[in-house]
Copies of this chain bind each other. A is one copy, B any other.
Amino acid sequence: MDNLERKTLLTHCSDERGLIAKITNICFKHQLNIIHNNEFVDNASGHFFMRTELEGTFDDKTLLADLDLALPTNSKRSLISSSRKKIVIMVTKEAHCLGDILMKAYDGSLDVEIAAVVGNYDKLQTLTERFDIPYHHISHEGLSREEHEEKMLEVIKGYDPRYVVLAKYMRVLTPNFVAQFPHKIINIHHSFLPAFIGAKPYQQAFDRGVKIIGATAHFVTNDLDEGPIIKQDVIPVDHNFSAADMAQAGRDVEKNVLSKALSKVVNDHVFVYGNKTVIL
């Protein structure tokens, strides 16, 4: 059994009767074992999603061709190897999210290969290199936004990463940059109830006396902070928290939400559909 491969088939299309039967029949015909299968129909949009973890000997081309014949014409399907995904992490100065991903990759609780870390400051270089991971310091100083991104793109693309993780990268990305990695860039930001716009959000949260502080991990699109949400969570705070304590609580929830979102993404559980995610 050891030379059997594992792959995950993600399929989505308009819903119609018999889709599960069609897809699993094809897997059966290809003599593939279904290890896990999850399916979801969004009744509001009439859209069908299915995640199928398969084991066996794969003939990708024929399998996909068989699926294309059987499924509705608008169907999207991808067959993804279950091997460890390569990521590049982008950072600025804050260590908490990067450190959490580095340690979880190290101790095996997050199944990713960190190909490199790219930062517009050098503050996190030592930490990164302690884990034997290359760090590229690409300062934005003296460069236009486009020039800076061009330099980063060159480095990042050299690693051919499956995903780019913004682990508190504090600069806005241009549509051109985002377009290079459609639904492949994952960002994390703090979130408040109510929302606070503008500078010093933790000071505003403190002044307002909020009782919870949240974080949202999402795919990056050209709508800043408005891409499909992958994971959200909150942490309770109270009057004992200064604005600085609230910021620390925010860092805690940010790192937890980002690494949980990343885990779902790199294990091929996440569909993007419209501006939403379906996580199977």
Contact = CB atoms under 8 A, between A and B. Distances in A.
A57 to B, nearest CB: 13
Contact of A242 (B37, B43, B233): B43
A109 B251 CA distance: 9
A236 to B, nearest CB: 8
Given A24-B21, A38-B39, A44-B242, A109 B231 contact: no
A197 to B, nearest CB: 10
7 contacts: A18-B24, A20-B24, A191-B194, A193-B214, A209-B277, A211-B216, A212-B233
A238 B39 CA distance: 14
Interface in A169-222: 191-195, 206-212, 214, 216
Interface stretch (A3-11, A75-83, A94-102, A148-156): A94-102
A259 to B, nearest CB: 11
A218 to B, nearest CB: 9
A238 B40 CA distance: 12
A238 B277 CA distance: 9
- Categorize the interface residue count of chain A: 35 or more
A63 interface: no
Interface of A: 17-18, 20-21, 24-25, 27-28, 31, 33-44, 95-96, 99-100, 102-103, 106-107, 109, 127, 130-131, 191-195, 206-212, 214, 216, 228-234, 236, 238-240, 242-243, 248, 251-252, 275-279
A275 to B, nearest CB: 7
Contacts of A208: 229, 275-276
Contact of A39 (B37, B207, B251): B37
A112 B206 CA distance: 27
A145 to B, nearest CB: 25
A256 to B, nearest CB: 9
Nearest to A131: B130
